[in-house]
Amino acid sequence: MDADVLIIGAGLAGLVAGNELVRAGRKVAIVEQENGRNLGGQAFWSFGGLFLVDTPMQRRLRVRDSFDLAWQDWQGSAAWDRLDGHLPEDEWAAQWGRAYVEFAAGDKRPWLEEQGVRFTPLVGWAERGSGTAAGHGNSVPRFHVPWGTGTGISEPFADKARTAAEEGSLTFFFRHQVDGLILDGDTVTGVHGTVLAADDAGRGIPSSRQAVGGFELRAQAVVIASGGIGGNHEQVRRWWPARLGTPPSDMITGVPQHVDGRMLDIATGAGVRLVNRDRMWHYTEGVRNWDPVWPQHGIRILPGPSSLWFDALGRRLPAPGLPGYDTIGTLAILRNTPDIAQYDHSWFILTQKMIEKEFALSGSEQNPDLTNRDVGLLLRSRLGRGAPPPVEAFKKNGEDFVVAGNLTDLVAGMNTLTDTALLDRDLIERQIRQRDAELDNPYSKDLQVMGIHNSRRFLGDRLTRTASPHKILDPAAGPLIAVKLHVITRKTLGGIQTDLTGRAFDTAGHPIYGLYAAGEAAGFGGGGAHGYNALEGTFLGGCIFTGRTVGRSLAALL
């Protein structure tokens, strides 16, 4: 035996599972295809937002939340509809969903604080949903931001694993790529794979796939924590659901290349049951990174509620296609509307006043104030004059940004960013003027304007995320800004079906002895704990919850 437990993947889920096992006195081996610089996987790059329910931070901002409200929201978002018949795909997904909301309303925050995670007072209102109480979306702000952003979540667990490695209870096998599971009869007893050539590429930079040898490792149990498929457009296209029309021919990539989905195909080949593979979470507000780390590197704008959203032909998107409301609903509009589905982009039009207060960029490297825990910079960049420096850098250098002093020049600039000029200035002006006319009263029939007023009733948004309502064509709010938006791949909502201890199932619906799964590879629990939609900030927590559960189950068993 090379260890008690072998874990495939040194991302957040693998690290959390490994640390739980080490704490219980078990020997762990973590097998990772990238080098040691990539410890923490996607979590290191993430914004670090965490879905928490009924916290002191919410109460300080006068948000009243409860488990019941969060569970109502989660069920409305998940819309699990595969609960009947033989081996229903949502059977365990729904149970994991419920357990996760209990975790988010209970042990999650205190346990994370015990692990060394520290929270800022900021609570965002992400994914406000489709506009009905029982439907998709967060009824209240729940997106808690930690100091350090993604690094503030991943590094406490990476540090513990580094210490365990120094003490000899955990062994890292970096540059070891798993190609298959080893089965003795019906029990998984190890993995085999390829040793990749040494490569000291920086974090997130694609590394060599040159093989220099093979390996076999054996243990009492194996945990698949290999992440999702977002870095592999071929897989995204393969599993793209018909309900979202056709996949865009041009997408940008919101995750490093190692999020390749390859291990999920290997698991399928070994008879492991994967479910809900057609459920994914890709954003429609992606921009090309002017300073890329990985191929086709895109950054997601975390938008406030005021930008006007137009399709490729210059028509305002219908609700729920509003910034920050309904990720998959907006994707469905863009991919299913017949005369725009052939185009792969849409547009925001906004003002300088809006970008200063409302634009944030997802990713640890895009938020140096929070990531470096620099309170002075945080106050200067979020509450001072001008947009935060990373947003200004995109405005200045990003190929998807157009800035102009008047609408004629703005639309002319937008038309230079497509092969043919698709936008009619007068059509756009008419719609902006119609919207601006809704601002003469403190109430409105325009759903987006109503949303802006609603947003400003939440103290957190009023202070940091929602510009005071103003007319887009008011020169005092300018210059005007347009942003060409792309579909950016990110999360995988389906995956390996697991029971509530994290054991993986085979295609006949029986647990496979010795095989467990955690994190994105397990669809964040049960092969689909989110159902069709996520409430945001739920992915890192999903890795933590499933990783901790698997670690504790195995520690109790072995």
Ligand X SMILES: Cc1cc2nc3c(=O)[nH]c(=O)nc-3n(C[C@H](O)[C@H](O)[C@H](O)COP(=O)(O)OP(=O)(O)OC[C@H]3O[C@@H](n4cnc5c(N)ncnc54)[C@H](O)[C@@H]3O)c2cc1C
Contact between 32 and ligand X (CB under 6 A)? yes
With respect to ligand X, which residue has the nearer C-beta, 272 or 312? 272
Q: Residue 85 pairs with which residues in a beta bridge? A: none
The one among 76, 156, 227, 528 contacting ligand X by CB under 6 A = 227
List Cβ neighbours of 202 (8 Å cut-off, separation of 6 or more).
Answer: 37, 293
d(Cα 230, Cα 492) in Å, to the nearest integer?
A: 7
| CB within 8 Å of 430: residues ≥ 6 apart | none
* Interface pick for ligand X out of 7, 28, 41, 322 (rule CB under 6 A): 41
- One residue of 20, 47, 481, 494 binding ligand X per CB under 6 A: 47
Residue numbers 244-303 binding ligand X by CB under 6 A? 254-255, 258-259, 262-263
Question: Candidates 39-47, 351-359, 369-377, 502-510 — which segment interacts with ligand X by CB under 6 A?
Answer: 39-47
Residues 357-396, interacting with ligand X (CB under 6 A)? 362-363
Contact 44, 260 (CB under 8 A): no
Window of 5-13, 93-101, 498-506, 548-556 that interacts with ligand X by CB under 6 A? 5-13
- Residues numbered 506-525 forming contacts with ligand X, rule: CB under 6 A: 519-521
Instruction: Give the residue nearest to ligand X (CB).
Output: 11
Q: Which two tokens stand for residue 54?
A: 């009924």
How far is the C-alpha of 375 from the C-alpha of 147, rounded, in Å?
Answer: 10
Lookup: tokens for 510: 């029986």
161 binds ligand X per the rule CB under 6 A: no
Kindly state whether residue 55 participates in binding ligand X, applying the rule CB under 6 A.
Answer: no
Is the separation of the CB atoms in 30 and 161 below 8 Å?
yes
Three-state DSSP class for residue 550: helix
CB 494 within 8 A of CB 512: no
Residue 271's CB: how many other CB atoms inside 10 A?
16
Tell me if 452 contacts ligand X by CB under 6 A: no
- Please select the residue that binds ligand X; options are 5, 13, 340, 529, rule is CB under 6 A: 13
Site string for ligand X, 464-503 (x = CB under 6 A): ---------------------------x------------
- Per rule CB under 6 A, is residue 222 in the interface with ligand X? no
Q: How far is the CB of 8 from ligand X (least distance, A)?
A: 5
DSSP state of 248: P
Q: Which of 78, 51, 82 is nearest to 67 (CA)?
A: 51
Q: Smallest distance, Å, CB 162 to ligand X?
A: 15
Beta bridge partners, 181, equal 191
Tokens of 545: 């919850």
Binning the chain into helix, strand and coil, the percentages to the nearest 5 are 35, 25, 40
Kindly tell me which residue out of 3, 20, 49, 275 binds ligand X, with binding defined by CB under 6 A. 49
**Exactly one of 539, 548, 553, 555 binds ligand X (CB under 6 A); which one?**
539
Give the residue from 548, 557, 451, 482 showing the smallest Cα distance to 225.
Answer: 548
- Sites of contact with ligand X (CB under 6 A): 8-14, 31-34, 38, 41-43, 45-49, 177-178, 225-227, 254-255, 258-259, 262-263, 362-363, 491, 519-521, 537-540, 543
